[in-house]
Chains A and B, each alone.
Chain A
Amino acid sequence: GNSVTQMEGPVTLSEEAFLTINCTYTATGYPSLFWYVQYPGEGLQLLLKATKADDKGSNKGFEATYRKETTSFHLEKGSVQVSDSAVYFCALSNDYKLSFGAGTTVTVRA
């Protein structure tokens, strides 16, 4: 079956620091990979996605590259802001359902 393992948090950073959240997966076939973000008190928003190997998804300064050889999809941002404080979820899908990691809470301090 499908499963997603992501770096445990919480992660606390200073503004302008570099952020990496590790995500690895197990799946049958060729899944699509996603990063979702959840701001306090809100639902999940799609941050970025990649649908095939070596694709790079990017949005709002965040990037992640679909690495089939290492079954990974690590999220990175070069300079975080206080407004990036949120919970980040790695997810995969190869049909009509999403499988999520446990989520990583990121807090950015000014």
Chain B
Amino acid sequence: NAGVTQTPKFQVLKTGQSMTLQCAQDMNHEYMSWYRQDPGMGLRLIHYSVGAGITDQGEVPNGYNVSRSTTEDFPLRLLSAAPSQTSVYFCASSIGGFLDGYTFGSGTRLTVV
């Protein structure tokens, strides 16, 4: 049982480049979300999904896109990377949302130069 798998673990991008952070879960969880972690700010929600085909914006969605074509996968796309997007990104999934809490992946550390 792999849980939530994120790839890559580390990435360096140049300003203006695009890339996709991958997230997959094998627990058949309906709810998935993406957070970014910055020093002193905790984790902030970027986008979330309550099921395949359904996504919505979180607290800090600008510059990011998501889609949810399957229950298992929830990729996060950076459209045109900026230095302000340097952060650690976490994907999380849950079977029951607020009643159960979320299972987190191990994170992707992204640096934009």
**A: which residues have CB within 8 A of B?**
4, 31-32, 34, 36, 42-46, 49, 51, 89, 93-103
Say whether, besides A31-B98, A43-B104, A96 and B43 are in contact (CB < 8 Å).
no
Interface residues of B in 74-113 (CB under 8 A from A): 90, 92, 94, 97-107
Which residue on chain B has the smallest CB distance to residue A102? B42
Q: Please tell me if the beta carbons of B106 and A96 are within 8 angstroms of each other in the complex.
A: no
List the B side residues contacting A49 at CB < 8 Å: 100-101
With A32-B98, A43-B106, A46-B102 known as contacts, the answer to whether A96 contacts B42 (CB < 8 A) is no
User: In the bound complex, do residue B40 and residue A102 qualify as a contact, i.e. CB atoms below 8 Å apart?
Assistant: yes
Chain B interface category by residue count:
20 to 34
Q: Is the CB of A96 within 8 A of B104?
A: no
Q: Which residues of B contact A (CB under 8 A)?
A: 4, 31, 33, 35, 40-45, 48, 50, 58, 90, 92, 94, 97-107
Q: Is the CB of B102 within 8 A of A95?
A: no
Residues of chain B within 8 A (CB-CB) of A93 are 97-98, 101
23 A-B pairs, CB-CB below 8 angstroms?
A31-B98, A32-B99, A32-B101, A36-B104, A42-B107, A44-B43, A44-B92, A46-B102, A49-B100, A49-B101, A51-B98, A94-B98, A95-B97, A96-B33, A97-B33, A98-B92, A99-B45, A100-B35, A100-B44, A102-B41, A102-B42, A103-B40, A103-B42
Q: In the complex, what residues of B have CB within 8 A of residue A99's CB? A: 45
